[in-house]
Amino acid sequence: MKYLKIFLIFIVTNLLIKEVVFFLLKGKQYDWKEKSCRDKKIRELGEESIMKYNKKHNSKLRMATVLSAQKKKNGTTYYSLRILAVGDMPDRRHTFTKNITSQIYKNPENNNKLKIKVHTEKHQKSFNNY
């Protein structure tokens, strides 16, 4: 009987330790995680964000690169992108850059469509195209 009690205490202790570790790690899975800017999906989301920005602001920017990308998952998937976009000045001899921040998530009404919100950071200095 004594060995049975020791065995049961051992089992209960192990289960409690595993549950506590799982509970502590569960909170971290909802944090933002860095994603590779070279990932195909991230680049596609960047292109879609630039198209949305161009449509909203009636401009003709092109995506140069994705500067940073983060992903968060809690029921639905969220992406946060910082994109470097390039545009031509009216004289067509100079270009300018814009930093665009994009928040992307699945549309609650239609899971197949993405909802994209784009915001502009301040303008960068223009430089010559030689």
Assign residue 39 a region (left: φ > 0; alpha: ψ between -120 and 50; beta: otherwise): beta
pLDDT digits (tens, 9 = 90+) for 63-104: 999 999 999 887 788 899 999 999 988 887 888 888 999 999
**pTM of the predicted protein model:** 0.68
pLDDT band for position 126 (cuts 50, 70, 90): very low
What is d(CA 130, CA 104) in angstroms, rounded to the nearest whole number?
Answer: 36
| Residue pLDDT, tens place only, 9-49 | 888 787 777 666 555 655 556 678 899 889 999 999 999 99
Please answer whether residues 69 and 36 qualify as being in contact, where contact means their C-beta atoms are separated by less than 8 angstroms: yes
Task: Identify the CA nearest to 64 among candidates 80, 43, 79.
Answer: 43
